[in-house]
Each structure stands twice: as C-alpha cells, then as structure tokens.
Copies of this chain bind each other. A is one copy, B any other.
Amino acid sequence: MDAKHTADLVVLTIRDDLLKILLVVRENEPFRGRLALPGGFLRPGEDLERTARRELAEETGLEAHQLPLLQLHTYSDPDRDPRGRVITTAYLAIAPDLPTVAGGTDARSADWVEVDDSLREQLAFDHWIIIDNAMERIRSELEYTPLATSFCPQVFTLSELRRVFELVWGVTMDPGNFRRKVATIKGFVELTGRKRHNRDGGRPADLYRRGRARTLNPPFRRPVGAR
C-alpha cells in the first residue's frame, strides 16, 4: 500500500537554565491550534533527513545546515493520523541557546517550551509519545556519546557542561568529581587556553571546546535516582 511520510523534529536547547523543546502551534487541520512538533511531508527527491532540515527552516526559521540530526524512531500506527495513512520518522536536533525563533509558513508561531510542561499539554497526534521516547533516548545518549556538548556553544565551561547533565538527568553532580571524570574521557573536551570571567566575581573558568571522540570511553554512569 501507499502511505504518506513525514519527518518530525525534537529540537532541544537549554534556555533560562531550563531544558526546552521547540514546538509550533498548528495552523491547519487536524489539530489546528494545538502544539505540535515541527515537521512535514516528504517531497520527491528528498530523503527524510533533508525533509527534516527543510521543515525546520520553513516552520521555525532555524537554518540548520550544519546542525547534526539524529534519527530516533519511526511511528507507523495505522490510526495515528486522522487524515489517513501517515508514517512519521522522528529526528533529534540539539542546539545551543539560539535567538528567538519566528513562525514560518505552516505554523502560526514557534516557541520554546519547558519539556516537562510540554508533556502536560494536549499535543497533536502521538507527539507526546515521540517526545517521551526522545527524552529517554537522550538520557541514554549522554552516557555513551558526546551529545551533551551539542547543548553548549563552541566554547564552554565545565560548569555549563555539567549543567547539561544535571538538567537532562534531573540530578546534581559534584563539580570536582565531574571535572575529574570528564578529564579521564579521552577526546571528550579540549582546553582552549582561554578563560571566562564571571560578572559577580569568582575565579574565572577555563574554556573548553568539543573533542574528536564520537563515543565516551569510559562512559558516564547515570547516578542512582537519575531520570
């Protein structure tokens, strides 16, 4: 049988010291007016990753040519879309805090919503399941891959990096042990030699950039009590 196919995006960032997801208000039926993941239909000649990038730009104004996309999962319940047979593949994008986004053609507006809040909303389609699955995947990816650095700008402090782990896992971590742990993982981060001064005083922090490692060895272990 023939089906339509969409790519939906879970776009995450840290803003105001909170973990936030990019959601759009649907402009068209079905679920007009509801919050939804940005995304849209596959076009001829495109693969799904290109669809995801194009829709992200169209719906939110985020140009993401260099943003790495991670394919998450494909949802194919026959009844998941009231319009008929629509299969969707979810992609993950993580960005450092970005300028406020603007709605594009398909969506009335695009905004950052705290992830926990988004899961309490009435979302369009099965999007709450997609977000829920995505969050569990991200919590796991933090253990074994340098994904956490995707939340940080090009150069960052270890406090910023630690905050990513704390927000995603819902824990607090000892700064000293975190620093030592990061240092034992080869290729995770590199010293830049520069420092960042704080407004309110305090010792200036060393600035780091991402390393070349594509996998963390040894991996992080999610603390007991973490999400």
Contact indicator per residue, chain A 140-151, by CB within 8 Å of chain B (1) or not (0): 100010000000
- Residue ID in chain B nearest A2 by CB atoms: B2
Number of copies of this kind of chain in the complex: 2
Give chain B nearest CB distance to A150 CB in angstroms.
Answer: 19
Q: Which partner residue on chain B sits nearest A51 by CB separation?
A: B76
A9: chain B residues at CB < 8 Å are none
**Residue A98 at the chain B interface, CB threshold 8 Å:** no
Chain B residues with CB below 8 A from A71, complex form: 73-74
What chain B residues lie within 8 Å of A5 (beta carbons)?
3, 5, 76, 87
Is A218's beta carbon under 8 Å from chain B? Answer: yes
Give chain B nearest CB distance to A63 CB in angstroms.
22
Q: Which of B48, B77, B140, B221 is in CB contact (< 8 Å) with A74?
A: B48
Q: Smallest Cβ distance from A137 to chain B, in angstroms?
A: 12
> Which residues of A line the B interface, CB within 8 A?
1-5, 41-49, 71, 73-74, 76-78, 85, 87, 89, 140, 144, 218-219, 221
Question: What are 21 sample pairs from A and B whose C-beta atoms fall under 8 A apart?
Answer: A1-B42, A1-B43, A1-B44, A2-B3, A2-B4, A3-B4, A3-B5, A5-B5, A44-B78, A46-B78, A47-B77, A47-B78, A48-B74, A48-B76, A48-B87, A71-B73, A71-B74, A74-B89, A76-B89, A87-B87, A140-B144
